A and B are shown apart, each in its own frame.
Chain A
Amino acid sequence: MASVKKTLLIGLFFAAVCVGGFFVYINAAFPTVRCEAAKVTHLNAPEDLSDCASCHAKTTPRDAQDWKESKHGVLLVKCFVCHGQPDGKGAIPFNAKPEYKTVCGACHEPAMNRMAAKYGEVGDCHTCHPRHQNPIHRNAFEAKTVTDKTSF
């Protein structure tokens, strides 16, 4: 039992080192990107905050990287198109998990209709299509494994 605990603790320690190291790396890797995350909350984001990616490359690097590599990233369908603006003062209601019918439907309604005809109604889009992950040259319903890629 004790050895299991020890292994777990060591594992946790390594995980912490890895995660910490990753953030240190990311910060070092983007010396030119200003990260306001420490000072800025979503509700008081200043007018000149530029776009979401500069902070999210550091705060949620996996999501940011997944988006960048996805079709939405290649096609520059930026965060706010689906999520709205963090201060809630934007044209699209701010939502970390957007309502799929109107948000996805604005562009993908024909595909959604096709899917519904083929499979019936089951959950929302992300039941099958993993969030943020849909690179060119891979099926849209395949999820990606964790990547260690950090280029952005």
Chain B
Amino acid sequence: MTILRRDFLKGTAAAIALSVLAGPVRAAQSGGGEEKWIKGVCRYCGTGCGVLVGVKGGKAVSIKGDPRNHNQGLLCLKGAMLIPVIYSEDRILKPMIRKGGKNDQLTEVSWEEALDFAANPFKKALAEAGPASIAYYGSGQALTEESYVANKMWKAGFKSNNVDGNPRLCMASAVAGYITTFGKDEPMGTYNDIDAASCFFIIGSNTSEAHPVLFQRIAKRKETSPDVKIIVADPRRTNTSRIADVHVSFKPGTDLALMNGMAHVIIREELDDARFHGKYCNFVKGNDPVNFEEYKKFLDDYTPEKVESITDVPAATIVKIARMFAESKGTVSLWCMGINQRVRGVWANNLIHNLHLLTGHICRPGATPLSLTGQPNACGGVRDVGALAHLLPNGRMVENEAHRKEMEALWNLPPGTIAPKMGRHTIALFEGMTAGDVKAVFIHCTNPAHTLPNLNKLTKGLQTAFVVQTECFKTAETLKYADVVLPAAFWCETDGVYGCTERRYSLTEQAIKPLGESRPALEILMDFGKRVGVDPKLIPYQNASDVWEEWRLLSAKSVYNFAGITRARLKKESGVKWPCPTENHPGTYLRYVRDDDPMVPKDHPNKVFFYGKPDGKAVIFLRPYDPPFEPADAEYPFVLTTGRVIDHWHTATMTGTVPELRKAYPGAYVEINPEDAKKLSIVNGDPVVLETRRDKLTFPARITDTCMPGLVFTPFFDPKLMVNKLFHDAADPISKEPEYKICATKVYKVS
């Protein structure tokens, strides 16, 4: 019943060529009578597609892909349907407060009243319990300017490092992976590498549904160069594997063993690039340097046969994909939440980097480890800005005294202003709220009551603390807990910068006026901050351009230098990739490469210089296989995993407003393998209970061989069936990112 790759790739033998004389067509410039087209970035995923919004009579009427941005005019179905989201009936257009506490109704009030009502508990908490009692919980969807200002207000203004956000739940492991291996965050490659790769290693990513336009680019690479090999490693046989040469279905949570097994084969068969790793890499076990021989010995535990016994992947397949990876002219690895959302997410990231460093498939066109981000501005807006509890701007660390001093000098603060201890990461933050230690939280542009893990436990914090929330849509679950709701202007109703997966900053320009009484979130944040007591001199900005100007110039004091990306340039160009130190610099394709990356001195003796590390060498880590936190067992015999469907984005507060998208996937379901379904006498559509150690929920069954036997999957978008209630909140000890991808569950039919 499945289409084999072979079937669809071979096409039909007797294709009839239609006459090209019939001729093509002329493009539509203004199909709907648009008066102007305003440039921007798609509101949804980390692919960061450029868009053009068609405006007529002050209203946004249409959208198309920006031909000058990396997506070359293409949009996926979500991006193509963004316009109705703006005018959805679910928009919140007036501030609301709960006067009588959590059990009261939200009532509409004036901005003045709402902001005072929001600020007072923060002032009180600061006065009575100190800076650690207030928090900001931000988002990889907030504009860069917003996250920058919030971070500065909290860390410099309130002296509180309690700044965290949903990127902790999505790419913290990727950040720690890049930092531990290369010394600096963010990828060295870009999307251009896709067009030059001869092999793709896609692991822990359903690119086709989560990053559709990038998937199109990979498919196009395969289409134009059929010799290109694609390896998709995923316990689910997702739509992404339709273009794969090999789909590797491993036992959930065993990918660390799989990648060590690949490294074993690469070295055993001498497919490694000894000149590259000899010159540019150190080998490290824990914190201790070791040598190549010790690494080889470490890999003795990962022979293909041993790895087969851990992963259920045939030894021959492990050998085959290791050869494909190493022997190609250039390999691009792509990964996402399947690798990041794990108790050993950082290690898994390190192991991907290992494969590239071992084989020298890095810092060349078409050869790079490229981590995909889920949100449109997690990279530029949060990672670079440093809007997490342990970070300061441009890769600086809170707990590093020299870094704090640098930031204090750059922000004109008296020495000692920035608190020396890192703030609370997400799980600790919500636990702190439950315990009463964190008394007031400002939630911006995210919906934690739906997206936190172990929801029944962690939402208790939202019931206890005073919650101020900026939100655009009435359907957000978190509104149920909010004491104050501040309507933020949506997407193209304001202007600001997004930074996507490939280090590219693109500007969304204001196309229309904010609807109703909604206001740009930057204004809201600054108004709120001043009321709580931030020194106005610290945030002297009139608009987002002023913030960008400060941020741009500040970056010049680091290797994240994008001082050359001025607002004027962003208006003119459809995105620029940093590092970009001067206004005439075209932006950087290959980072860490002499003559390409302006941060590498022109006279550096080596072609590649990993300047994030003191000795300029990247690290190949000896990271052993470590099982997931809660594997299946006799009592809870199935593995439950979660993910996306192409039609919905995150908690569906936006996509759920579009009739087509809502109808395509009106609700969550559970995918069950036909073998398992037969054993449990479940047929399609049957109500099926998933019961974990936390909670149980009933989903309609979808019988499909997408999931391997023993594995069940449900998407997480549905507010009526919030699968995160079923999950534990065990997190990676380094990145503090929770393991959303694996927990043990019972599966049974409702009797």
**Residues of A near any B CB (own CB < 8 A):** 29, 32-34, 45, 47-51, 68-69, 71, 74-78, 80-81, 84-85, 89-92, 99-102, 105-113, 115-116, 118-125, 127-128, 130, 135-139, 141-145, 147, 149, 151-152
- 24 interchain pairs, CB-CB under 8 A: A32-B683, A50-B665, A69-B3, A76-B646, A80-B663, A90-B660, A91-B83, A92-B660, A106-B75, A109-B28, A110-B27, A120-B23, A120-B26, A125-B24, A127-B23, A127-B24, A130-B18, A137-B10, A143-B17, A144-B12, A145-B12, A145-B14, A145-B16, A151-B3
Nearest-CB distance from A104 to chain B (Å)? 8
Q: Once the chains are docked, how many angstroms separate the CA of A144 from the CA of B379?
A: 43
Q: Chain A binding site: helix, strand, loop or mixed by DSSP?
A: loop
CB-CB < 8 A to B22: which residues of A? 122-123, 127-128
Q: With the chains together, A115 CA to B684 CA distance in Å? A: 46
B73 at the interface (CB under 8 A from A): yes
The 8 tightest CB contacts between A and B, nearest first, are A122-B23, A115-B24, A101-B28, A102-B31, A112-B27, A32-B684, A105-B28, A116-B26
Closest partner residue, chain A, to B701 (CB atom): A32
Check A75/B65 contact, CB under 8 A, given A90-B659, A107-B73, A108-B73.
no
Please measure, in the bound complex, the distance between the C-alpha atom of A152 and the C-alpha atom of B4, giving whole angstroms: 10
Contact with A along B1-43 (1 / 0, CB 8 A): 1110001111111111110101111111001100000000000
Instruction: List chain A residues, Cβ under 8 A from B18.
Output: 128, 130, 141-143
Known: A48-B666, A144-B15, A145-B14. A75 touches B216 (CB 8 A): yes
Partner of A91, one of B27, B64, B660: B660
A106 vs B660: C-alpha distance in the bound complex, in angstroms?
17
- The distance in angstroms between the C-alpha atoms of A29 and B215, with both chains bound, is 30
B14 contact set on A, CB distance < 8 A: 145
The reply to whether the CB of B219 lies closer than 8 angstroms to some CB of chain A is yes
Please indicate the chain A residues that have their CB under 8 angstroms from the CB of B308 in the complex. Answer: none
A74 contacts B242, C-beta separation under 8 Å: yes
Q: Does B180 contact A (CB under 8 A)?
A: no
Tell yes or no: B84 within 8 A of A by CB: yes
Given contacts A50-B664, A80-B660, A141-B18, contact A124 B25 (CB under 8 A): yes
A46 CB to closest chain B CB (Å) equals 9
CA distance A142 to B2 in the complex (A): 25
Q: Cβ of B208 and Cβ of A76 under 8 Å apart? A: yes
Pick the contact of A34: B242, B662, B666, B685 (CB < 8 A).
Answer: B685
Known contacts A81-B77, A99-B31; A116 and B24 CB within 8 A of each other = yes
| Contact A102:B32 (CB < 8 A) given known A29-B1, A85-B659 | yes
Chain B contacts for A51, CB-based, 8 A: 663-665
| Inter-chain contact B8/A136, CB cutoff 8 Å | yes
B550 located at the interface, meaning its Cβ lies under 8 Å from any Cβ of chain A in the complex: no
Q: Are B243 and A74 in contact (CB under 8 A)?
A: yes
Within the assembled complex, what's the spacing in Å between the Cα atoms of A128 and B22?
6
Neighbour of B26 across the interface among A89, A92, A112, CB < 8 A: A112
B52 nearest CB across to chain A (Å): 9
The answer to whether B16 touches A142 (Cβ under 8 A) is yes
B482 on the A face (CB < 8 A): no
Interface residues on B, range: 35 or more
Of A74, A102, A147, A151, the residue contacting B62 (CB under 8 A) is: A102
> How far is the CB of A4 from the nearest CB of chain B, in Å?
28
Which residues of chain A have C-beta atoms less than 8 A from B80's C-beta?
81, 106-107
Asked if B703 and A110 sit within 8 Å, CB to CB, the answer is: no
Interface membership of B616, Cβ < 8 A: no
Q: Is the CB of A128 within 8 A of B8?
A: no
For B68, the closest partner residue in chain A by CB is A110
Q: Does B67 contact A (CB under 8 A)?
A: yes
Contact status B24-A118, CB under 8 Å: yes
Q: Is the CB of A109 within 8 A of B23?
A: no
Q: Counting CB contacts under 8 A, is B658 at the interface?
A: yes
Bound form: Cα–Cα A108–B73 in Å: 6
CB-CB under 8 A from A107, the residues of chain B are 64-65, 73-75, 80
Chain B residue at minimal CB-CB distance from A142: B15
Q: Are the CB atoms of B222 and A136 closer together than 8 Å?
A: yes
Closest to A116 in B: B26
> Bound state CA distance, A49 and B222, in angstroms?
34
B314 to chain A, nearest CB (A): 25
Cα separation A80 to B660 with both chains bound (whole Å): 6
Residues of A near B684 (CB, < 8 A) are: 32-34
B residues near A90, Cβ cutoff 8 Å: 658-660, 663
- Whether B212 is near chain A, meaning CB under 8 Å from some CB there, is yes
In the complex, which residues of chain A have a beta carbon less than 8 angstroms from the beta carbon of B28? 100-102, 105, 109, 112
Is the Cβ of B659 less than 8 Å from the Cβ of A89? yes
At the interface, yes or no: B239 with Cβ under 8 Å from chain A? Answer: yes
Query: Is the C-beta of B110 less than 8 angstroms from some C-beta in chain A?
Result: no
CB distance from A65 to the nearest CB of B (A): 9
Contact of B77 among A45, A50, A77, A84 (CB under 8 A): A77
Contact A106 B212 (CB under 8 A): no
- A108 and chain B: residue at smallest CB distance: B73
Q: Are A110 and B67 in contact (CB under 8 A)?
A: yes
B226 at the interface (CB under 8 A from A): yes
- B2 contact set on A, CB distance < 8 A: 151
Name which residue of chain A comes closest to B222, CB basis. Answer: A136
> Could you say which residues of chain B place their CB within 8 Å of the CB of A85?
659-660, 663
Using Cβ atoms and an 8 Å threshold, which residues of chain B touch A49?
663
A111 to B67, CA, bound (A): 10
> Do the beta carbons of B81 and A92 come within 8 Å of each other?
yes
CB neighbours (8 Å) of B660 from chain A are 80-81, 84-85, 90-92
Given A91-B658, A91-B660, A121-B25: A137 and B9 within 8 A (CB)? yes
Beyond the given pairs A76-B209, A100-B25, A109-B65, 6 more chain A to chain B contacts, judged by CB atoms under 8 angstroms and listed by A's residue number, are A71-B216, A81-B660, A101-B27, A105-B28, A109-B28, A142-B16
